[in-house]
A and B are shown apart, each in its own frame.
Chain A
């Protein structure tokens, strides 16, 4: 039955990629793509690569900061919280379209996190921008740190720094789900 599990996993992997990434693959110009182990040694290379690519594309400093800061937050969320499976490593991708830039992050999570994550994101996504900014500011000034030194602000920042934000949770093999986010930054 291993081949069947593998086939199912491959199917969901491809499908999860397709749903949010298809437009990136076919209509956008890829600036960088990292699919592999992600840790704090790799992250500075990705930050540097993204920053240089955005400079080359003529992105102004405020836009660069919004995108690279979002890349740092999603990457550190993956480093902190993602389930690790060497066969299916996380994916980070930045691409260019006529309207701006698209950042995609995709990683495995344990299915026990799915309900919380979905509810958390659904709550954030429906907030008006001013409310998101207020939440960010209040958490910054009054909130506490997590046990692993996070401020609980990463995804909030990506939401209000991006011009549109989509997410998806797809079943993966066994106890895991694919978590994919797509953040768009307009020029």
Chain B
């Protein structure tokens, strides 16, 4: 990951089994999208969590809302767990005064994804919007 990470942004390109991740702190925008079923989710997401944590520890809250967009296709259960860890990082940032908005984007007719979003919405104390889309 280090070759794809600059001090400004976190950028990870997608593979068949791992998602695209883009975190642009200056734009207050975090995006994760695509498939996520790495064999070892901790190995893949550990550095991402670390990166966000490092950034958060140095970040001074501002009034601009940090938007976290999640648009996943297929993901495994260990990713489901890591996602919650990620949301909790943003939750702690929110508790320190940084406005955060999580947007869970899913296909309108996919009630399974809606349910997954509702589970996360119930598990974290941060504005969490479910965003159904047609495509």
Contacts and interface: CB of A to CB of B under 8 A. Distances in A.
Interface residues of A, number: 32
Contacts of B81: 139-140, 143, 145, 151, 153
B76 A69 contact: yes
Contact of B109 (A60, A80, A149, A156): A60
Contacts of B2: none
A37 interface: no
A166 B36 CA distance: 27
B1 interface: no
Interface string B103-130: 0000101111100000100010000000
Contacts of B17: 40, 43-44
B109 A72 contact: no
A61 interface: yes
Contacts of A62: 109-113
A35 to B, nearest CB: 21
B84 interface: yes
Nearest to B76: A72
A66 B74 CA distance: 10
B77 A154 contact: yes
Interface residues of B, number: 26
B80 A151 contact: yes
Contact of A76 (B16, B37, B112): B37
B40 interface: yes
Nearest to A158: B77
A92 to B, nearest CB: 15
A139 B119 CA distance: 12
Contact of A141 (B41, B42, B123): B123
Contacts of A79: 39
B119 A148 contact: no
Contacts of A150: 41, 77-78
B43 interface: yes
Interface string B60-93: 0000000000000011111011001000000000
A47 B74 contact: yes
Nearest to A60: B109
Interface of B: 16-17, 35, 37-43, 74-78, 80-81, 84, 107, 109-113, 119, 123
User: What are the 5 A-B residue pairs with the smallest beta carbon separation, nearest first?
Assistant: A149-B40, A44-B16, A153-B77, A61-B110, A151-B78
